[in-house]
Structure 1
Amino acid sequence: MLLIYFYFFSVSVKLKLICSHQPIIALAGDDVILPCHLEPATNATFSKVVWTKPGLDPKYIHVHQHGPMLYSQNPSYSNRTRLFVNELAHGNISLKIFGVNISDTGQYWCFLPPIQAEVPVQLIVGSVSTPVIKVISNTSETLVLGCESKGWYPEPELLWLDTEGKILSAGPTETVGGPDDLYTVSSRVTVEKRHSNNITCRVQQRNINQTRETQIHVSGRKVYEKLLY
């Protein structure tokens, strides 16, 4: 044990703690990995590894150490985190979080006391749902369509598209935020029935690279709805 500690500290001045520079993006309910590793790869099995999320009380998300535990894990992460213990010997100190939710969004810090290195990792957790199109008004010449999509995070945008994928002129998008921090968006559009047409309602959130679509086919007096993913 002493030899292992001696080796670790003797090379510590040359070690770098490398974590993801890009935000980690996930959807609510996913399991995610916050990547961090030592470079060059060095055995961290017997080192203390601390993951925190500033702003929480307590701020400790996961602590790996030998001997008595001196830190209290935040209860919202109880039984939801782990390190890859078998890979610590190769310098992998990444953190896995199970079943993330919207409140897990934020900046996490990986701290390795032996080399006094602390590096942040950004996590963005999103939520999406498929839009629903309804016929609001149906005359001999026009249709008024309404589209609504609930349960989005972060706040998305809503677009109406024609058969060629061109954006249609539509009414303003109404956005409502709920007590659960999720957003509902809705909008209406008026289309002519002179020609057969496919009208698409698209809801998208670029920060999490997510898009959901529903399409309605207008052919004379007939209207057909189709979900697109």
Structure 2
Amino acid sequence: MTWETTTEHQNEKRKSSMLQPKIQPSDGLSFRTCTVFIFMVLQSVGEPSQLICSHQPIVALAGDDVILSCHFEPAINARSQTVIWTRTDLNPKYIHYHNPGGMVDLDQNPSYHYRTRLFVDELKNGTVSMKIFRVKLSDAGKYECSLPLMKMYVSIQLTVGAVSAPVIEFVSNQSREVVLQCEAKGWYPEPELFWLDGEGNLLSAGPTETVRGPDDLYTVSRRLTVRKSDNFTCRVQQKNINQTRETHFYVPG
């Protein structure tokens, strides 16, 4: 009796298990695989990378080297990309043309021969900046960095200036007054010239004389009549290129 009862109970359990849905081990494996796949997709789909250059004009002085900074943010590997720097106001417009195999000299504007460089080792970090050596006044303008395969185009402005230290000299020296002249040569763009006393106060002086030479550089000069002993300063400044030069002069009693 006991044996039969146990057998009937086991039969009931078998029938019950047959009615329940079966989960094969392969189903569990498929579930785990699907979970990993979804995770990988979510990881790969992030914020799209953007090509970013300086929004403010880059300022350089004639004769210096300058870097037109441009990079991807977030960083991506750009080694397999074609990177082209151009100035549309020039003909030919190509400043630097870089293929994955290296620089292409074809159609480069002659003014930039041997004066440009791309940081090839930094392409893998998303840096596509261009360096210009020995900047000229004629290099000032709007540059465009483009990656045609990615359909990305960004522009950046380069401003080029020229400066020099002002020179002060006696024009006349009479018993009760001294006339000083301050002159600054080779400036670009056109600067302003001021006279200041020993405490930094602006002084009333003669009109500023300006001459623009055939090289487009400006020479400015201005005279000051001095009637007392003091330290005097001639200040020349150009706000567009954020440049200031000063020379100090002491007039004894």
Q: Same fold (TM over 0.5)?
A: yes
- Counterpart Cα distance in 2 of 1:166 and 1:84: 48
Ranges in structure 1 where 5+ consecutive residues have no aligned partner: 1-9, 221-229
Q: Which moved more, 1:14-23 or 1:56-65?
A: 14-23
- Counterpart Cα distance in 1 of 2:88 and 2:129: 18
Structure 1 partner of 2:159: 124
- SS, match of residue 190 in structure 1: strand
Deviation digits for residues 141-168 of structure 1 (CA, Å, limit 9, x no counterpart): 1011111110001110000001111010
- Which of 91, 102, 124 is equivalent to 1:57? 91
Is the counterpart of residue 29 in structure 1 residue 29 in structure 2?
no
- Which of 173, 188, 191 is equivalent to 1:156? 191
Q: 1:56 to 1:39 in 2, by over 3 A?
A: same
Aligned length: 208
Deviation digits for residues 131-150 of structure 1 (CA, Å, limit 9, x no counterpart): 11111111111011111110
Larger Rg: 2
Is the counterpart of residue 112 in structure 1 residue 142 in structure 2?
no
- Counterpart Cα distance in 2 of 1:59 and 1:117: 18
Q: Do the aligned partners of 2:79 and 2:100 also contact (CA within 8 Å) in 1?
A: no
Higher helix share: 2
Q: Do the aligned partners of 2:136 and 2:160 also contact (CA within 8 Å) in 1?
A: yes
Q: Which moved more, 1:34-43 or 1:83-92?
A: 34-43
Moved over 3 A (4+): 66-71
Q: Do the aligned partners of 1:15 and 1:115 also contact (CA within 8 Å) in 2?
A: no
Q: 1:125 to 1:217 in 2, by over 3 A?
A: same
Q: Do the aligned partners of 1:30 and 1:98 also contact (CA within 8 Å) in 2?
A: yes
- Counterpart Cα distance in 2 of 1:70 and 1:198: 56
Q: Do the aligned partners of 2:97 and 2:105 also contact (CA within 8 Å) in 1?
A: no
Is the counterpart of residue 209 in structure 1 residue 239 in structure 2?
no
Q: What percent of counterpart residues are identical?
A: 64
- Counterpart Cα distance in 1 of 2:105 and 2:117: 17
- Counterpart Cα distance in 2 of 1:46 and 1:23: 29
What RMSD in Å do the two structures reach over aligned CA positions?
A: 1.8
Structure 1 partner of 2:13: none
- SS, match of residue 172 in structure 1: coil
Structure 2 partner of 1:173: 208
Ranges in structure 2 where 5+ consecutive residues have no aligned partner: 1-43
Instruction: For 1:164, give the aligned amino acid.
Output: E
TM-score normalised per structure 1: 0.86
Q: Which moved more, 1:73-82 or 1:112-121?
A: 112-121
Q: Which has the higher contact order (CA 8 A, sep 6+)?
A: 1
Instruction: For 1:218, give the aligned amino acid.
Output: V
Q: 1:70 to 1:28 in 2, by over 3 A?
A: closer
- Counterpart Cα distance in 1 of 2:117 and 2:198: 48
- SS, match of residue 207 in structure 1: helix
Higher strand share: 1
- SS, match of residue 86 in structure 1: helix
Instruction: For 1:209, give the aligned amino acid.
Output: N
- Counterpart Cα distance in 1 of 2:95 and 2:50: 22
How big is the shift at 1:70? Answer: 8.6
- Counterpart Cα distance in 2 of 1:216 and 1:39: 51
- SS, match of residue 88 in structure 1: helix
Q: Do the aligned partners of 1:52 and 1:61 also contact (CA within 8 Å) in 2?
A: yes
TM-score normalised per structure 2: 0.78
- Counterpart Cα distance in 2 of 1:54 and 1:137: 53
Q: Do the aligned partners of 2:92 and 2:108 also contact (CA within 8 Å) in 1?
A: yes
- Which of 80, 102, 108 is equivalent to 1:73? 108
